[in-house]
Amino acid sequence: MWAAAQRSLSQALAAQGDWEGSAEAAENVLEVLPKDASALKQAEMIYQDILFRFSSAFDLNQRRVRRDNSPGTRLEFVQTHLTTARFSECVARSADFRDEELQAGALPVRDVLRLACQFGAGQKSGARQTAGAILQESANLHVPAWRASGVKHFLSLHPAFAAARDLWVQLFEKLEKGDGPGLAGVVRQLGEILKD
């Protein structure tokens, strides 16, 4: 009963824009029901995309992926690897997907995350290959059911992306908006920094 009240409180506080309170209420649910999928996802989303507490989001996502190994949850785990600067692990996790297990709209998300992780890990050769895949995928890009607020915030601050910070942020903005031509244009601009 108490956990249900905390879950409802978390949702109500989120609707009011009280993100700290919403996350706290979701965490209260997790104290009693540590495997509660709704509370895990709610708290993770708040920490990742609103409060930018990336290590908390990573920990919650790690718990969630143990219970839900679906492609969508695993793709979010790739994202939390990026925003906690686990670049090499992010590259490895992004390679765990078979193209056919992802919906067509998720392929560009995976590949744009992979591109950023490869760059962060210093894997420029792999990043050039991924950039080529993104150029092909951009022709059929649609608005993905995915948020990039946390990723854009991370890229705007992390030193690995300082050389072309604005372009990295634009890359994720174009992806988030489903702007295929814009995404392709940014990938081409990033081509200069992907050279050896």
Query: Are residues 109 and 130 both part of a single domain?
Result: yes
pLDDT digits (tens, 9 = 90+) for 30-69: 999 999 999 999 999 999 999 999 999 999 999 999 999 9
Query: Are residues 83 and 180 both part of a single domain?
Result: yes
Spatial contact of 194 and 128, defined as CB atoms under 8 Å apart: yes
What sign has the CA pseudo-torsion 158, 85, 121, 155? negative
Query: Are residues 102 and 174 both part of a single domain?
Result: yes
Query: Are residues 99 and 49 both part of a single domain?
Result: no
Q: What pTM was computed for the model?
A: 0.94
Q: Which residue has the tokens 């209420």?
A: 25
pLDDT digits (tens, 9 = 90+) for 151-162: 999 999 999 999
Domain final position from 68, 97, 118: 68
Per-residue pLDDT band for 196 (boundaries 50, 70, 90) equals low
- Within a 10 A sphere around the Cβ of 196, how many other Cβ atoms? 5
Amino acid identity of 105?
Answer: G
Spatial contact of 52 and 20, defined as CB atoms under 8 Å apart: no
Q: At 46, which CATH number?
A: 1.25.40.10
Where do runs of H (alpha helix) occur along the chain? 2-15, 19-32, 37-49, 54-67, 71-82, 87-94, 106-120, 124-138, 149-157, 165-177, 180-190
Query: Are residues 64 and 98 both part of a single domain?
Result: no
Helices 180-190 & 124-138 angle (0-180, nearest 10): 160
